[in-house]
Amino acid sequence: MLIVGLGNPGDRYAQTRHNIGFMVVDQLGERWQLSLNKKGHQAFWGQGRRQAEPVILLKPQTFMNLSGASVASACKAFGCDPGQLLVVHDDLDLPFGQLRIKQGGGHGGHNGLRHIIKVLGTSDFLRLRLGIGRPGEGEEVVAYVLRAFTAEQKQQVVPLLQRASEAIEAIVDMGVARAMCAFNGQNSIGN
């Protein structure tokens, strides 16, 4: 399975809402003792095993809006069809702290997903959507996603990352259907 965390490269974006996909992949690397120190496919990546399942963790370095170039390159190199691809990303349409596993669908206005779908020519891949909530009245969406979490949210990001990592482990260990039943609709910071 190819597990892709979406985000923007560089220190400027490291702790922003839009980079929560990177944060999850970094946590998985720590949990699985899998270093993302390889460079290629316009990304940092690492390869290992979860149980008996081969896994690849990937953090595209193309900036969010061009994520598809990195993902397509990795899919081609590793012989990964869309059914073996999991994209982890921020989602404005879910309340902060909620996560949802989803198979296929549209891009929902997310430019990283939009580019992946365009380059792969399909939207039939698995997603782990991480709720970041919506901006306040009159606040620009771009400014909101590129801003750091609030002080209160920062304390809640750790349980969200933990829950997201557990959801991915469930997908790999038990399959998508069982993972969906176990994780969809639950709030990582309240359930």
Q: How confident is the model at residue 187 (pLDDT cuts 50, 70, 90)?
A: low
Q: What pLDDT, in 10s, does the model give residues 73-114?
A: 999 999 999 889 999 999 999 999 999 999 999 898 899 999
Please check if 96 is assigned to a binding site.
Answer: no
pLDDT at 176 over 60: yes
- With respect to residue 146, please indicate whether it lies within any of the assigned structural domains: yes
Q: Which domain holds residue 29?
A: 2-183
Element (H, E) at 3: strand 2-5
- With respect to residue 101, please indicate whether it lies within any of the assigned structural domains: yes
Task: Give how many domains the chain has, as a whole number.
Answer: 1
pLDDT at 181 over 50: yes
Nearest to 3 by CA among 78, 62, 105, 69: 78
Please check if 111 is assigned to a binding site.
Answer: yes
**Backbone conformation region of residue 79, classed left if phi is above 0, alpha if psi is from -120 to 50, else beta:** left
pLDDT at 51 over 90: no
Around Cβ 181, how many Cβ atoms within 10 Å? 12
pLDDT at 186 over 80: no
Q: How confident is the model at residue 162 (pLDDT cuts 50, 70, 90)?
A: very high
Angle 168-174-176 from CA coordinates, rounded to 5°: 65
- With respect to residue 188, please indicate whether it lies within any of the assigned structural domains: no
Q: For residues 159, 190, 141 and 44, what is the CA-based torsion angle, rounded to 10 degrees?
A: 20
- With respect to residue 165, please indicate whether it lies within any of the assigned structural domains: yes
The CATH number that applies at residue 113 is: 3.40.50.1470
- How far is residue 122's CA from residue 159's CA, in Å, rounded to a whole number? 32
Mean per-residue pLDDT over the chain, rounded? 93
Q: What percent of the chain has pLDDT over 70?
A: 96
Please check if 19 is assigned to a binding site.
Answer: no
Please check if 37 is assigned to a binding site.
Answer: no
pTM of the model: 0.94
- With respect to residue 79, please indicate whether it lies within any of the assigned structural domains: yes
- With respect to residue 189, please indicate whether it lies within any of the assigned structural domains: no
Looking at residue 52, what is its pLDDT?
87
The active-site residue, picked from 18, 89, 110, 115, is 18
Span 149-174, average pLDDT: 94
Q: Is 18 a catalytic site residue? A: yes
- Evaluate the CA torsion angle 86, 91, 93, 98 in order and state its sign: positive
- With respect to residue 64, please indicate whether it lies within any of the assigned structural domains: yes
Around Cβ 152, how many Cβ atoms within 10 Å? 8
- With respect to residue 191, please indicate whether it lies within any of the assigned structural domains: no
